[in-house]
Structures are given as structure tokens and as C-alpha cells.
Amino acid sequence: MLHTPYAHPDRKGDGVAWEAIRPDVESDEGHDEGQGAGPATVGGDDRVRSAERVLHAVPVVPMDPAPTAEPLPDPEETARALALCVVEILSGAREVDSIARWVTDDVHRHLQQRAALTARNRSGLRRAVRRPSLRAGSVVACSPADGIVEATVVVHGRSHARAVAIRLETRNGRWRATAVGVL
């Protein structure tokens, strides 16, 4: 039995909120404060009626203390997508802010520094920024603890392949990269 201030103390499981019973007509002639406030059910002979006051029972809607979270997406797919984005960032074809919600602040700061460094090197060579032709290859993932996945993704470009190591952790109901390394 649910023991809350909203459940009637004498009735078990009838779904009637004791304190939610309210009068339809405001008339206090010949009635003491709280008179007629007893157990009532919706649509039955138990409904409390008087000439001046009609009481209605309001059903209790149970509140779920912990809403059920949606299942997390596949961590391998998340790692694959993030690895492609990281290589695009380092090649200058994507902004770091485009993946800000999927990485921690430390990873974001690290990627900004690496992107700035590669942009400086590119400008010294006078190379134009081209969108790279990338393809994600194999993904190897392991879970050292609950809510943590470490993955390595091989990203293939036109001329060479790169390995991207990513540590994913669950934060606020989704995967976020807490560490990223590119070889």
C-alpha cells in the first residue's frame, strides 16, 4: 500500500486522492469545515452528495521517481562517426564546434589546439583546404567498466590510413568522448 498524504488512510488501492476531493458548489450553509470530505469514487453509489455540495474524486496519477532513460546508441557506431569527424577537423574540413556536444571540454580544447597547429602548417605550405575522401574501416571496442567503452577506429583516406583511439563514457544519457588520440 502506498502511504502518502494523497492516499485515503482507510481505502486501499482505490486510486482516489483524499486531499484532492473538492466541492463543485461553494456553500457553507449548515456545514462545518471539512464536512462531507470522505472517501468517494468516481461513478458509483459511493459518491458523496448533499443538497449544496457535490464532491468529485480526482484519480491519483503515480509519479515515476526515475524516468526510464532511452537505451544508449551503439558505442561502435558513435566511435566510428566521431573518428571520421576528428580526422575531418584535423584536415581543416570541419569546425571543432560541430562536435562540441559529443566531447568533453578537455577534448574540445585539445582538438582546437591540434586543428590550429595543422592549419598553421597548411598555411605555410600554401595548401588549399579540400574536403577529404574518408572511409571508416574496422572498429575494435572493449568495455573496461560499466558505462565506459574504449574504441579504436581505422580511418582510410586517399593516400594513407589513420588510427583514432577514443574513450567514450556515458554522461547525461549519451556517449561522450573523454579522450581522443590520432596516430
Residue 117 pLDDT > 50, yes or no? yes
Q: Do 152 and 161 meet the contact criterion of CB atoms below 8 Å apart? A: no
Q: Which amino acid is at 10?
A: D
Cβ neighbour number for residue 90 with a 10 Å cutoff: 20
pLDDT tens string 7-64 = 445 545 444 444 444 444 444 444 444 444 455 444 544 444 444 455 555 565 555 4
pTM for this predicted structure:
0.61
Is residue 97 pLDDT above 50, yes or no?
yes
